[in-house]
Amino acid sequence: MLSALAALGLALSPQTQSAAHAEAEYIVPTQICRGYWLIPVALQARDGDEDARTLWFLHDTGASNTYVDPDSLQRVSGRRFEPGRRVNLVDASAGPVRINRLPTRVRELDHLSITLGRQIDGLMSVHVLDDFLMVLDYPASQMRLRRGALPRPDGETVFSSRGPDRRPWINVDFAGREQRLLVDSGAGALGFAVNDIDRFDLVAPARPLTGAVRIDRLEPRRLARLDGQARLAGLSFVSPVLEEAPRSPLLGAQALQHFVVTLDQRQRRLKLRRVTDGPIPASDHYEFGAVMRPTTAGFELVRVFDQTPLHAAGARPGDIITHFGDIPAAERGCDFALDGGEVSLRLLRDGEQISLDLVLTPVLAAPE
């Protein structure tokens, strides 16, 4: 199952190879969880114990490297690898794709599991499927692969995806000001994240309202509404919410969900086929109002921002949200959602369990 670091090897399964000439595309098994694409990678079964040897990878077009959690690796291999090691997964498959060797880095990924409320075993880089045209069909909740290449960019549906690195990038027009954004399927709850948010025409000044959990850090994030429309591949978004990203500006799933996205990593091209009639109207935007650190107990509040739902409920920095209602924070599952309304929170404060009633009201209301 494991080998020393070697080159990546991917191939179609024999059944897929024989059908490849008749079928233009073939489907990779996936689960959509809060806008994220999860792929089960099955290692060679032992004594019928297939489920125990399946690793769930979050596929991230914004990631340059592939990671696997050390506890998950120990579960499927019986061996302990410390964070920082490089190992190969071998003799595995993801539906029709046979994985001969998948180089990974060992890294703690508990924060992803807690954030999504379900087990995440690995983070899969955009480069893993470079041999194929990869289709992310958001409306159909399908990931499909096929051989071939995209045509030359026409500026309407096919675009150059070249940027500062080998990941896919695309220009977005924000009320007359363009910025090149990283196409990031690993930003499931995000629409548009920009650098230097104050340079844009805003309905009101940006203010801190949330935080982003990165692999190695927490980032407070300021948000504001664009005063005007954002345009992407001919689709207009009316007064969308912009989030300020200190590093790479991002195009996330909340914007990508209006398209069928095709990536051609070899030719550095990207196709966006609209599936939603525009313009996309503005809607109320909700946030809890804190920077949260995922922990084994739940979500620790690192910062609580003024004039937000958590602040109004009486939450404080240092509190740990352990339950949403009666549901443990780390066991929410992919179907759990809060978008307005009320919820009773159970928190740990100075070692004692307390309850707070949270009323989710918009932090950025839709313009009238």
Task: Report angle CA 215, 216, 221 to the nearest 5 degrees.
Answer: 85
Question: SS3 for 282?
Answer: coil
| pLDDT single digits (tens) 294-343 | 998 999 999 999 999 999 999 999 999 999 999 999 899 888 877 678 88
| pLDDT single digits (tens) 249-268 | 999 999 999 999 999 999 99
In the chain, residues under CATH classification 2.40.70.10 are: 2-146, 158-254
- Structure-model confidence comparison of residues 78 and 23, the more confident one: 78
DSSP 139-163: TTTEEEEESS------SSSEEE---
Per-residue model confidence (pLDDT) at position 44: 81
The span from the CA of 197 to the CA of 339, in Å, is: 25
For residue 345 the two structure tokens come to 């929170």
The CATH number of domain 158-254, selected from 2.60.120.10, 2.40.70.10, 3.40.50.720, 3.40.50.300: 2.40.70.10
- Structure-model confidence comparison of residues 226 and 101, the more confident one: 226
The span from the CA of 65 to the CA of 102, in Å, is: 11
CATH architecture of 2-146: Beta Barrel (2.40)
The 3-class SS string of 228-271 reads CEEEECCEEEECCEEEECCCCCEECHHHHCCEEEEEECCCCEEE
Cis before 279 (ω within 30): yes
Per-residue model confidence (pLDDT) at position 49: 59
**Could you identify the residue written with the tokens 């509404």?**
225
Per-residue model confidence (pLDDT) at position 6: 30
Cα dihedral 33→250→262→107 (10° resolution): -60
- Considering the chain, what is the average pLDDT of its residues? 90
Pairing of strands 67-68, 250-251: unpaired
First to last CA, the chain: 58
**Could you identify the residue written with the tokens 């590093």?**
247
Q: What percent of the chain has pLDDT over 70?
A: 90
Per-residue model confidence (pLDDT) at position 4: 27
Of 106, 129, 85, 100, nearest to 1 by C-alpha is 100
pLDDT tier at 46 (50, 70, 90 boundaries)? low
| pLDDT single digits (tens) 171-195 | 999 999 999 999 999 999 899 999 9
Of 336, 278, 282, 305, nearest to 114 by C-alpha is 336
| pLDDT single digits (tens) 103-149 | 999 999 999 999 999 999 999 999 999 989 999 999 999 999 999 99
pLDDT tier at 88 (50, 70, 90 boundaries)? very high
pLDDT tier at 215 (50, 70, 90 boundaries)? low
- Structure-model confidence comparison of residues 212 and 242, the more confident one: 242
Asked if pLDDT for residue 23 goes beyond 70, the answer is no
In the chain, residues under CATH classification 2.30.42.10 are: 290-360
Per-residue model confidence (pLDDT) at position 3: 32
The CATH number of domain 290-360, selected from 2.30.42.10, 3.20.20.70, 3.30.870.10, 2.60.40.10: 2.30.42.10
Per-residue model confidence (pLDDT) at position 17: 44
Mean pLDDT across 72-101? 92
pLDDT tier at 50 (50, 70, 90 boundaries)? low
